[in-house]
Amino acid sequence: MKAHFVVTISANRKMERQAEVLIRSIKSNGCCPDSFFTIITHQPDEIQSAFLKSHQIVGYKQNPKLKFPWSACARWNITPEEDLVIGLDSDVVALRDLNPLLNQMQSKKGITGTIVCHDNFKIKDWKRLFDLASLDYPENLYQTTRGQRCPYYVNNGVLALSSEYLDDLRQATKTMIDLVSANYYHDFFITQRATTLAAYAIKIPMNTMPHEFNHLERCHGQPTKDTYFYHYNVSRDKFFFDPSNFLFKMI
């Protein structure tokens, strides 16, 4: 199956190499050689990688009002080439055939992600954000692996979206970024909170996947044979640049 994979990076060699590994892994381990790939960056003219330049590169302007980058939401500023769009951070790698997973996500429609498990945001903060956004606080909550219950709060590192909802989600997310940043300026996860509010605002179908869909190292340790996308951000330096590990060998 073909999908449109969108990888967000900053224009530096480390993240470029991570993006190279990610795309190569999707084409090989992920068995998606014919899918469409877009690289999103706020410095498109500074990309050095010849491999990345052979794919579509889309630039975006940094929002000077934000304390932290909003590239995770800028990834929706594309024209979709396939019915299913997969937004990815660069510090992710595909470890197995993705086609059964992609077929499942396409059949579900809407937005699909993995509920985060490493966040200290309080319920009172969520209720405040929903109130500020003039949204009803959801009755159906989701349980994280830490036993917390929260609204549909998914990790932006691996996120799937039916292309028919892309325009609405992009506009709603921009609005919610302004709202969250105005009230929680020092929160590192501003764009992740904005994704949650935007999804409820446009009433998009919300789907969840098990952690194998987005295997966060900080929560689940090293990958297993069942892992689809391995999100290795905590050990980014020591793990990624060790010549003995499998990621290095993919380059």
Nearest to 195 by CA among 146, 158, 223: 158
pLDDT tens column, 99-148: 999 999 889 899 999 988 667 788 899 999 999 999 999 999 998 766 77
Q: Is the pLDDT of residue 42 over 50?
A: yes
Q: Is the pLDDT of residue 159 over 80?
A: yes
> Measured on CA atoms in the order 132, 135, 138, 142, is the torsion positive or negative?
negative
Amino acid, res. 146: R
Inter-CA distances, 55 with 39, 40, 44, Å = 7, 11, 12
Q: For residue 156, which phi and psi values (nearest 5 degrees)?
A: -75, -10
Q: Please report, for the domain that includes residue 148, its CATH number.
A: 3.90.550.10
Q: Whole-angstrom Cα distance, residue 166 to residue 38?
A: 15
Residue 193's domain comprises: 4-250
